[in-house]
Structure 1
């Protein structure tokens, strides 16, 4: 079904696809109707593309809540406090989703109970460039020309290469 909206829906049943598309149209339609100005063409498509990227990131790597991250990192204190403190200190990527901070799972070495060493350097580079952390998280999951088409998330063990790629990415002027 390439070329149609249906190819984006992760189900095979045509009736279920139609139901999902109809529900999506109702929800988006209601949001657009609530605007007091015209919708700029392409905005809905951009929003959908971004939401699909978040869904793909979550499916592949997980988006963990603060309590789960704190437990994984060995905290015995107040649930979620360690994750929130590290996010505030620029040591974890935390993104606002579903009315809370969530933490992309790719930044953790769960077997060792630690954050991957590249993460604080990536956060610092993003902050220096004014790149929001949600955009950093999505960038990490997309192929990068600076890494020969590899995704930065797959090269997090090579912190220098990924930070250099990010610096090149944010330095691009159009």
Structure 2
């Protein structure tokens, strides 16, 4: 299973305040903020930052191959947003991993999930989900509200 192959619900449209995914200049501003604040990395760069080595070795391949991390397509290549990584621990931030799984289950594309993390959210009094990623309860509660019910609560049909 690849990064983007997590089973999805039948409805491919997000059921949330982000149902109109930012586009154009607004989306580009969010992508720039993401890159400036936390980075957008190739698989080799992500592996190196997590202490897996200088290239896409077996351990890095296992991390990405299990669908645990966001892989966004930018400029014709897949990049890995840095906000999802706990570099000192050499792992993904557990709550972010849960939100990624939830978003994919709800039918969101990885790009939509990444933009959700950088969009001001009324449930967070205008703060962005990326700003509360270390507060697991707050992040998961906000994702549940925006993305729908818990993944695994019922098996998506047709997947």
Whether TM exceeds 0.5 here: the answer is: yes
What is the CA-CA distance between 1:82 and the residue it aligns to? 4.0
SS of 1:90's equivalent? coil
SS of 1:112's equivalent? coil
Match of 2:4 in 1: none
Deviates more, 1:72-81 or 1:154-163: 72-81
State whether residues 119 and 128 of structure 2, in contact with CA within 8 Å, keep that contact through their aligned partners in structure 1.
Answer: yes
Match of 1:72 in 2: 49
5+ residue gaps, structure 1, are 1-44
The TM-score normalised by the length of structure 2 is 0.69
The TM-score normalised by the length of structure 1 is 0.64
Superposition RMSD in Å? 2.2
Separation (CA, whole Å) in 2 of partners of 1:68 and 1:46: 27
Match of 2:88 among 97, 111, 122: 111
SS of 1:102's equivalent? strand
State whether residues 70 and 83 of structure 1, in contact with CA within 8 Å, keep that contact through their aligned partners in structure 2.
Answer: yes
Tell me: higher relative CO, structure 1 or 2? Use CA pairs within 8 A at least 6 residues apart: 2
Separation (CA, whole Å) in 2 of partners of 1:73 and 1:105: 10
Change (3 A) 1:76 1:46: closer
List per-residue Cα deviations over 1:91-128 (Å, max 9, x = no partner).
11111112221111111122332221112211111012
State whether residues 63 and 104 of structure 1, in contact with CA within 8 Å, keep that contact through their aligned partners in structure 2.
Answer: yes
Match of 2:30 in 1: 53
How many corresponding residue pairs? 127
Separation (CA, whole Å) in 2 of partners of 1:67 and 1:78: 4
Larger Cα-atom Rg: 1
State whether residues 64 and 105 of structure 1, in contact with CA within 8 Å, keep that contact through their aligned partners in structure 2.
Answer: yes
